[in-house]
Amino acid sequence: MSIKKVLITGNEAIAEGAVQAGCTFYAGYPITPQNELTAYMSRRLPEAGGTFIQSESELAAINMVFGASAAGARAMTSSSSPGMSLKQEGISYIAGAELPAVIVNIMRGGPGLGNIWPAQSDYFQATRSGGHGDYHSIVLAPSSVQEAYEMMFLAFDLADKYRTPAIILGDGMLGQMMEPLLVRSKESGGGREKLQTKPWALTGCRGRRANIIKSFYMVEGDLEKFNLTLQKKYKAIQQEEARYESLFLDDARIILVAYGTMARIARAAVNNLRKKGKKAGLIRPITLWPFPQKAFTRHLRPNIRYLVVEMSYGQMLEDVKLAVNGKAKVEFLGRAGGGVPTEKEIIKSLSRL
Amino acid sequence: MEKIFKHPKSLRNIATHYCAGCGHGTVHRIIAEVVDELGIRERVIGVAPVGCAVIAYDYWDFDCSEAAHGRALAVATGIKRERPQNIVFTYQGDGDLAAIGTSETIHAANRGENVTVIFINNAVYGMTGGQMAPTTLLGQKTTTTPLGREIKSHGWPLRISEMLALLPAVKYIERVSLHSPQETIKTKQAIKTAFQNQIDNIGFSLVEVLSSCPTYWDMPPKKALDWIKNEMIKEFPLGRIK
């Protein structure tokens, strides 16, 4: 497999990663700051033999993904915060019908129409169901263009493995910035050869009993039973799929916790503090759901302090507090609505701890 | 002796949950017969709506998907684009197709998706208890129009089939009715044409079926059929629209 180096935006890297991971169906609706992803797909996906549809709405896009996935496709859509709110109905149905799907959210400022600046204010929506009902999506948070590209393979694999929606939670900064990307050649076919068979898919009932894709259980007790099987699946995902990256945890007294592009700024702050002889460390959750609780429980010492840094007013903060469970002090630094905590602000707030 | 009337293979041999005099069971059977006659049972994929026919997939014996309320044509688009070799149809009521799903309906039609749409118009929301539908007639009393539908507050009955006929990508639209055996036979012919069009790659085809809801029209079944004939057809004239 030949590899080449290109300079590319996060949005385009995500699209290329998806195509190479075997995505054959994309439907999306224009919204900033993720438009480069849709535009790239409109050119690249048909070239790779897939289907691109610019849908009439976010609702239509996510329901087209529902249909394509029901028919066995590796299907995806992408959007940004206000559009993600509209997609929640469909994501709930996808979770309820146990369909795999990949949904990309390049987050922007909210609430409402907000603005088009980067933000991390949709953490709750992504990790706490978002739509109606007791379900979870797997939530992956890339922090570089390279990781965003690689993560598309993982997202489709996990979605297929667990028959569940997987959300890529990036932000406008990641979507818009260009970075060098090591990319597999287009001819290599990426991960397609590893595709699982889907005996449950709607393909016509030749030689088998009819398949039904549904989330509706009318007989008393059936829905509760189905929910218990979902919960069992979520437990398995929590046990098997939590991922994180860490830095200097062995001797750290102050541990920064940040994800996505925010983690890059936090990492710079940690390196800066280390140069000054301060025992700083970093936990960067890669999966936001399942949340990597072990990263915290493994290194729990009473003299540790955590500083959670987010482009929101404290959403992942709640998961960190649940993981730490009162056994260490958890502080918070956050800005949103276009504001991004700077390295300087991080170091300044640490000096107050 | 040759058996000339039998239970369709595409219809499971179980009792439906529909009320006495409801048209859904009739149309389910017509679709099953047409699927059998066209020999497409092993490649047809149905999309069931939200509404009284929500569990249509329990009655048909071929591959089916549910769709969120109003989204059947978006789901069907996804299925058909991914598997163009299959025959994909939606089965939708008036609230599903012409109110909450108006956008999905118009845009799937405008893209000319090569799918078949069976549109059941019974002028009322059945599953939720008889509320006003976009196709409710003027003067018709429903749970949410206790004094009858009137233009000033509720607008006119929506003739969505006529609206769709304006779109260049729409290839076939016919309005039929279940109010008599003759009309029911015509309904079957229209549904067969709509499926055959898809097999022949002709494009977007829709059959609007005027169907009775004795329960929420508050009429005995026979009277409900007469109401279609005497009242509904005035607002929704039968025949080929496109």
Across the A/B interface, how many CB contacts are shorter than 8 Å? 139
pLDDT (tens digit per residue) in A142-160:
999 999 999 999 999 999 9
Best residue of B65, B105, B115 to probe chain A, by most A CBs closer than 10 Å: B65
Q: What's the whole-model pTM score?
A: 0.97
pLDDT at A299: 81
Rounded Cα gap, residues B99 and A197, in angstroms: 38
Which token pair is B106? 């118009």
The DSSP output letter for B179 is: S
Say whether pLDDT at A190 is over 60: no
With 80 as the cut, is the pLDDT of residue A353 above it? no
B88 min Cα distance to partner chain A (Å): 10
Say which amino acid occupies B56.
A
Interatomic CA distance for residues B53 and B221, integer angstroms: 19
Dihedral sign computed on CA atoms, order B25, B30, B36, B42: negative
Residue B75: its chain A contacts at CB < 8 A? Answer: 63-64, 66-67, 70
Which of B61, B66, B103 faces A216 most closely, judged by CB atoms?
B66
The pLDDT, as a whole number, for residue A2 is 85
List pLDDT tens digits, range A98-150.
Answer: 999 999 999 999 999 999 999 999 999 999 989 999 999 999 999 999 999 99
CA A24 to chain centre: 20
pLDDT 10s digits, A274-297: 999 999 999 999 999 999 999 999
Residue-level pLDDT at A196: 73
Interface test with A, best of B59, B63, B86 (most A CBs within 10 A): B63
Q: What is the CB neighbour count within 10 angstroms for residue B85? A: 8
Is ipTM > 0.90 here? yes
A324 pLDDT higher than 60 = yes
| pLDDT confidence tier of residue A195, bands split at 50, 70 and 90 | low
Q: What is the pLDDT along chain B (242 residues), one digit of tens a residue?
A: 888 889 999 999 999 999 999 999 999 999 999 999 999 999 999 999 999 999 999 999 999 999 999 999 999 999 999 999 999 999 999 999 999 999 999 999 999 999 999 999 999 999 999 999 999 999 999 999 999 999 999 999 999 999 999 999 999 999 999 999 999 999 999 999 999 999 999 999 999 999 999 999 999 999 999 999 999 999 999 999 99
B35 alpha carbon, distance to own chain's centre: 16
Residues of A within 8 A of B43 (CB-CB) are 204, 206
Q: Which sign does the torsion angle of CA B86, B87, B93, B95 carry?
A: positive
Q: Is the pLDDT of residue A191 over 50?
A: no
- Going from the C-alpha of A10 to that of each of A80, A174, A287, the distances in angstroms are 14, 5, 18
Spell out the SS3 assignment of chain A: CCEEEEEEEHHHHHHHHHHHCCCCEEEECCCCCCHHHHHHHHHHHHHCCCEEEECCCHHHHHHHHHHHHHCCCCEEEEECHHHHHHHHHHHHHHHHCCCCEEEEEEEECCCCCCCCCECCCCHHHHHCCCCCCCCCCEEECCCCHHHHHHHHHHHHHHHHHHCCEEEEEEEHHHHHCEEEEEEECHHHCCCHHHCCCCCCCCCCCCCCCCCEECCCCCCCCHHHHHHHHHHHHHHHHHHHCCCEEEECCCCCCEEEECCHHHHHHHHHHHHHHHHCCCCEEEEEECEEECCCCHHHHCCCCCCCEEEEEECCCCCHHHHHHHHHCCCCEEEEEECCCCCCCCHHHHHHHHHCC
Can you tell me the mean pLDDT for A223-244? 98
- Rounded CA gap, A260 and A245, in Å? 11
Mean pLDDT of chain B: 97
Query: Percentage of chain B surpassing pLDDT 90?
Result: 98
